[in-house]
Structure formats: structure tokens, C-alpha cells
A and B are shown apart, each in its own frame.
Chain A
Amino acid sequence: MQTPEAEGASIVMIGSFNPAIFQPRWLGAQQLIRAEEAENAKITIIQAQVADFSTEWFQLQVLQQRFTVFTTDPRQYGPLRDLAVGMFAILAHTPVSLVGINRHFHFTTPSVDVWHKIGHRLAPKEPWHEIITGPGLRSLLMEGRRDETSQGILRIKIEPSLKIKHGIYVEVNEEFRAPTDGPSEGAQWVPSCLAMQWDPFMAFAENAGRRILPLGNV
């Protein structure tokens, strides 16, 4: 894959959370992060309704209905998954209804021409010329499944990069719902979902990213 100019991965959960629990000290006490990382975490805000802090390799933001853990360091994708698994193995009774795994890339295109061609391939402009003047692709969202047996709903978003001039932003998301059968109480399903889905999803996302740029070469 062409090396992206920037990339990241995140895990987002929808449920009912108690943000005040999610403190660096708590993560340190549970030995989910190093003691030094807990001590040196940059806390933005920790209150009953919201917790937001970052260490040198991840950022955690928890609202009452939404949990997000995020990294832009590709060395830490595995540890990010382990961190989320660890937290919800401990907080097994926290109600979690949805888990989203996300990966994003910002790619540079070799030329403006290639950049435009990618947009044309993904969203041909011919039908639009009769409707609007100067049609251009701002955002494209495709939905499907990773494979026939996949339980999650997969979405791929393509946009012009906000970060890189004439760059392409690719975001891959897969969403998993709490199982309707088996032990779905609270967050008990979350660790196994992340353990099983993370590696295949990450490989899929890299492959998807790899396939977008060549669309401009045709």
C-alpha cells in the first residue's frame, strides 16, 4: 500500500457510560496502561458527563452515550484494541449496544489529474451536468459487508482530504450490534467481538485503502 500521509484507528461504542470512571489513574491501577503513562496523561476534562484525556499514544473521550478511543500512531493499533478489550472486560456490566471499528487514511495523489480521475471514477459527473453546474464529489459513502459471513455493517467513505492538498481521505468503518442471542448482557460481548473482528477488519481496511488510489490511473 502507498504509505499514507496520515492515518489512524478508533473504537467507538454507543451505550450508557459513566464518564467519571474513565480516568488515567483508573487505567493505571488496572494496569491497562503503564504507570508513567497514567501519571503523565493530559487531562482535558473529567466530569460526571464527560471525560477527555490523552497519553502519548491514544486519546480517550467518553460521554454518557458515547465512548471513543483513538490513536494516530500505527504502532499502537494492537494496544488500542487491547486497551478497549481490557476496559470492557472489567466494566462487563456497562450497557453497550453498538461497537464501531474505524480506520482512516489521508493519501497524497501523484497529480491533480489523478485526484480528479478518482472522483470521476467513483462518481461519474455526466448525470449531474443536467442538474447542477460544476458538479464535484465532496463525500461518497458506500455500505455493504466485509464478506458474506460478516456480522457487521461496513461503510467506506471517500472525500477530498482536509489535511492534504489534492489528497484523498478514506475512512473504513464496521459496526457491530449487541448479539440478540447468547451472553449479550452489558458489555460482555464487546471483548470477544473486538478480539475476533479487529485483525480481519484492519487487514480489510488496508486493502480497501490500497485499491482507491489506482482508480485514478485508468
Chain B
Amino acid sequence: MLVPMSHQSYSDAILRPESPEARILFPAPQDQFERFLFRQRPSEKVGPNTDQITLQGQDHANPQQDALVRLPGLRLSPSRVIVLQRWIGRVESVRRDRFVAVTTDATNPGNPPEESEFDLAEVSEGDRALVARGAVFYWCIGYHDSVGGQRERTSSLRFVRSPQLSEATLDRILEQADRMATFLQESD
């Protein structure tokens, strides 16, 4: 028998950071969508009219003046998305208003890769600059159920965004690659 969880209960996991002014009560994972409390001293509550220096001074004089700030928990989306099939694509060539990509079935990985052609208009405007040979994207087909209950069939493309690495990081990666290449050549 299972027991319905009719009321929310907080777990006893209390994170106590080194800083004495913060006390955070974490809810149990399923309760993460509820609120939890974040205790904060007024000195950290930065507002447009806050004179931080003055408040910090007051805090040192009276450390008991804590304020409770209510933080939102993790929020569930009111709508629902059901993915029917997903692919990972790699752009092979780009023409004026279309691009060709090799798509790998991520839902059924046993299926062979296929070549597909996409209209550039299907790509979100914010992603269009990313469409180039070698770019990788996620392609999902599914349903979107709105809050009002309307079901729509959707096809969505989202291009992978890689971090812009610093020169130092790039140098480090290239140096590692050179070392590996040298090692492999010497092994031969």
C-alpha cells in the first residue's frame, strides 16, 4: 500500500555554510517546487537605496538583526511537452535558404544516420548565426499541451552552443593535442 502525500513536509537537511549569517532549509526533492527560506542579514540585502557601508556597520554592532527572505523553489512548467522522437544533427552544407545535415536517431540509436534537408526558416532567429558546416543541433518532434489543454504537434531545432574559450585555454588544449600527437608518433 502506498500512502498519499497529502501535505508538504520539509526534510531535515539543513545546509550550514561557514558564514554564520546564512541558514538554508532545503526541502525534500519532490518538494523542491515549494518555497524554502533563506536567512539573510540586512547588510547583504542590496537595494537601490541601501547604504551598504552604514548597514554593515550596524550589523557588526547588532548581529542578531536577521531578515528572512523567501526564495522560490524549483518551478514546474504549467504546460507539458511529450517528445515522440529526437535526433542529433550535424550540418554538412549550407545553401542560401536551406541546409543539409546528417541526423542520428537519439530515440532509437540502432537506426542508421540519415541525411536531411532543413529550411533555414525553421531555425530560431537567435540560432541562425550558428548554422555553419560542422554545427551540431538537437531536433525534437513531439506534442506540446498548453495550460488550456490544447495539444499541438511541434518540431523544434536548437543549436549546440559551445563556450568561447579564452586564448590561454585554447593554447592549453592545443598543447595537449601536440603532446598526444608526439606521443602517438613516437609509439609508431
Contact = CB atoms under 8 A, between A and B. Distances in A.
B71 interface: yes
B3 A138 contact: yes
A34 B40 contact: no
The 8 nearest A-B residue pairs measured at CB: A34-B126, A136-B3, A119-B2, A86-B163, A75-B140, A89-B163, A72-B77, A160-B2
A150 interface: no
Which of A30, A70, A104, A118 has the most C-beta atoms of chain B within 10 angstroms of its own C-beta?
A70
A6 B158 CA distance: 22
Tell me if B's interface is mostly helix, strand, loop or mixed.
mixed
Contacts of A79: 138, 158, 160-161
Interface range on chain A (Cβ under 8 Å from partner) = 35 or more
A65 B158 contact: no
16 contacts: A5-B80, A30-B163, A33-B161, A45-B71, A47-B45, A50-B38, A54-B75, A59-B74, A70-B74, A73-B77, A74-B81, A78-B160, A85-B163, A115-B2, A120-B1, A160-B4
Residue among A3, A165, A166 facing the most chain B CB atoms (10 A cut-off): A3
Given A35-B126, A160-B5, A52 B46 contact: no
B44 A104 contact: no
Interface string A27-43: 00011111111000000
A87 B165 CA distance: 11
Interface of A: 3, 5-6, 8, 10, 30-37, 44-45, 47-50, 52, 54, 59, 61, 63-66, 68, 70, 72-76, 78-79, 82-83, 85-87, 89-90, 92, 102, 104, 115-116, 118-120, 125, 135-138, 157, 159-163, 165-166, 168-169, 171
